[in-house]
A and B are shown apart, each in its own frame.
Chain A
Amino acid sequence: MRTKSPRYAMLEIGLIALAVLFMIPLYFVVSMTFKSPEEMAGFPLSLPGSLSFGNYAETWAMMRFPLVFANTLLITVSTVALLIIFGSMAAYPLARKSSKTYNFLYIYFIAGIMVPFQLAMVPLYRFVNALSLVNTYHGAILIYTAINLPLTVFLFTGFLKSTSRELEEAAWIDGCSKFRAYWVAVFPIIKPATATVAVLCSLSTWNDFLIPLLFLQDSSRRTITIELYMFVGEHVTNWSLLFPGMVLSVLPLLLVYLFLQKYIIKGIAAGSVKG
């Protein structure tokens, strides 16, 4: 083993160098937020002269950060909750039963993975508009739930197939209803798939911009991403506000990632390799 250590040291140094190179775009954006207009015109990788948060304070107020943050959080959390509850419930019989009907339903659900969302856009807009759900939170939540259901059902079904039926069958014998047995005996053992769904669907919902562009145009309903997009349209030349806006828009996810990265990385891997 000892003879190998210099090789590992070399590998490690190479990988660290690669990771630093990889991080340059992020460093670039963050360093720009602290630069004065004169510094911005200089070499892009130079360090900012001072760490002043003035640009952030101004951007925070202009993009109404507390409001758009709360909007995004509400929509993301509600969507993920609905996906976990309804998606896992639907996946359960699809994973356990193998008659033609259930196989068809499984294919029916996962076919959605291959459909480009743009194909649904116009009929969906007319429908959502007819129900007066444009510019409402529940409208957006329902749309996100619907478009994320195919992946959710796929991941839960894949995972459920690898689990044993003994616990739930024991619960039935004890007189539990199918429904109760599911929540008591099955739902707790599919946690790894639940984690995967939570991570993937939170990311795609939080980061999405096409749906709020169409369905949440009212400025009091905007999400973080769409606020940033509108912001760029209005202040396209003002870099001193754009860069802090970009950092602020990704900061909530970055903080969550910083604290939960082990679970997030594990979550993605668990669902993917089993599914």
Chain B
Amino acid sequence: MKWSLGKKEHLVWAAFIAPAFLIYTVIFLGPVITSFYYSMTNWNGLYKTMDFVGLQNFTQLVSDDKFLRALRNTFWFTLLVVILQNGLAMPLAMALDSKIKSKSVLRAAFFVPAILSPLVVGYTWMYIYQPDGGLLNELLAGLGLGSWQQSWLGDPAYALYGIVAIVLWQFVGYSMVIFIANLQTIPGDYYEAADIDGAGGWRKFLSITFPLMAPSITINVVLASIGSLKAFDIIYVTTKGGPYYATETFTTLLYRTAFTESSFGYGTAIGVVMFFIILMISFIQIVVLRRREVGV
């Protein structure tokens, strides 16, 4: 009756897992594994013929400037998003977990962008960033800062930061919600005890809030990292990787190489490298951040 290990028992559990296993394997992981094979061929994605080239695509990647630039852009983009998104969401969550009256309305307001499609968010910000008559430049002119006007997404020096700002606007509310849920699990007694000991606000944050926020920090950092490393829609909609490859990341390079330039084998190799990088980064983050959680 209990959770024994009889043979029949295993069959029952196999039946529980089977539908999900089949759908996932046949539709998603099967094609992914097929792609791992293609990454070792010179297939162009269209013709029937292809040659097995072993690891040649991968050795070529190491000295490919386009790939190295995409690697740099992806890491820089991810680092900025992870740090800024969490750095902004944490104080916002603490402010909206306090005793202010309008907190539920404000929370709902900050979360709204997270439900919008990347397509709509991308179009909206393209009009905001427009060089002629765009909202941002008009506002700068109105504030007497006309000399600050830029072609925000059209200038290679600013385009990547322009997209970082869009992502922050869209997802800061999402991280905030997860932080708030964690804050609500911290017992109020801790703060009362600290008050009695005469601890100041900063001291209380460092000794109570920050350590006890470890679980949500783990989740938010891992989610933002995977999301940024895999980011595609928002970049594809706004800049398609341009101008002059300034916003080219793994996914846009993969897409362009595999589908537009018909080097499917080579493009797929980029995807395989990307998968292993994401795997490694998430693994390291989970190990390091979880250790912090246990230590508390």
Question: A149 at the A/B interface (Cβ < 8 Å)?
Answer: yes
**Contacting residues, chain A, for B259 (C-beta < 8 A):** 121-122
Name the one of B113, B185, B254 contacting A273, with C-beta atoms under 8 angstroms: B185
Tell me if B1 and A169 are in contact (CB < 8 A).
Answer: yes
Pick the residue among A8, A93, A225 that contacts B17 (CB under 8 A): A93
Q: Identify which of A112, A179, A242 contacts B24 (C-beta below 8 A).
A: A112
Q: How far is the CB of A39 from chain B (nearest CB, A)?
A: 12
Q: Which residues of A are found within 8 Å of B169, using beta-carbon distances?
A: 22, 25
Q: Is A203 an interface residue (CB 8 A)?
A: yes
Q: Is B244 an interface residue (CB 8 A)?
A: no
Asked if A87 CB lies within 8 Å of chain B CBs, one says yes
B35 touches A15 (CB 8 A): no
Q: Which 10 residue pairs of A and B lie closest in terms of their CB atoms, listed nearest first?
A: A269-B181, A146-B27, A207-B117, A90-B20, A123-B31, A119-B271, A93-B13, A123-B34, A146-B28, A120-B31
Q: Which residues of A contact B (CB under 8 A)?
A: 8, 11-12, 15-16, 19, 22-26, 28-29, 32, 41, 43-45, 82, 86-87, 89-90, 92-94, 96-97, 99, 102, 105, 108-109, 111-124, 127, 142-143, 145-147, 149-150, 153, 165, 169, 172-173, 178-179, 182, 203, 206-210, 225, 228-229, 232, 242, 246, 249-250, 253-254, 257, 261-262, 264-265, 268-270, 272-273, 275
- CB pairs A–B below 8 angstroms (30 shown): A8-B99, A12-B102, A15-B102, A16-B102, A19-B109, A22-B110, A25-B135, A32-B127, A44-B133, A45-B138, A45-B139, A90-B16, A93-B13, A109-B20, A114-B226, A116-B254, A121-B258, A122-B45, A208-B117, A209-B119, A225-B119, A246-B124, A250-B117, A254-B112, A254-B115, A257-B115, A264-B115, A265-B177, A269-B181, A275-B219
Residues of B within 8 A of A (CB): 1-3, 5, 12-13, 15-17, 19-21, 23-24, 26-32, 34-35, 38, 45, 95-96, 98-102, 104, 106-120, 123-125, 127-128, 133-135, 138-139, 142, 169, 174, 177-178, 180-182, 185, 215-216, 219, 223, 226, 230, 232-233, 250-251, 254-255, 258-259, 264, 268, 271-272, 274-275, 278-279, 282
